[in-house]
Amino acid sequence: MTKDQNHEIRLLAYLVPKPGKREKLLAEIQAIVEQTKSEEGCLEYAPHELIGSFGTIVMDERWLNQSCLDAHAKSRHFKKLAEQFDELLAEPLKLHFLEPLAS
């Protein structure tokens, strides 16, 4: 990200489960949602399923700034989830950062 540290961060994280791993992946994600929502600077952290994707989970995230997102990535509960990505994900985690357009 090239934004300054005080800019709100909005992102979509795409998690594509391996065949037969969707339910475990979803359970592991749901296990950290409340902890993550209580983190400093977490404005939104919500899992969704991508329609027609055979189980792709999309995390809709908003963070107060880059420092808060960085702290989340270093949190114990997220690191525990990330340690399981090789087992659970069919492809690497994809992060798509969003920027609002002028209306």
Residue 61's nearest CA partner among 47, 75, 71 is 47
* CA–CA separation, 75 and 97 (whole Å): 20
Report yes or no: 49 and 91 within 8 Å, Cβ to Cβ: no
SS3 63: strand
Residue-level pLDDT, tens digit, the chain, 103 residues: 445 567 999 999 999 999 999 999 999 999 999 999 999 999 999 999 999 988 999 999 999 999 999 999 999 999 999 999 999 999 999 999 999 887 7
pTM of the model: 0.89
According to DSSP, the residues that pair with 58 across neighbouring strands are 14, 48
Report yes or no: 36 and 72 within 8 Å, Cβ to Cβ: yes
* Residue ranges of domains in the chain, CATH in brackets: 9-98 (3.30.70.100)
Query: Would you state the structure tokens that stand for residue 73, as one six-digit string?
Result: 């990535």
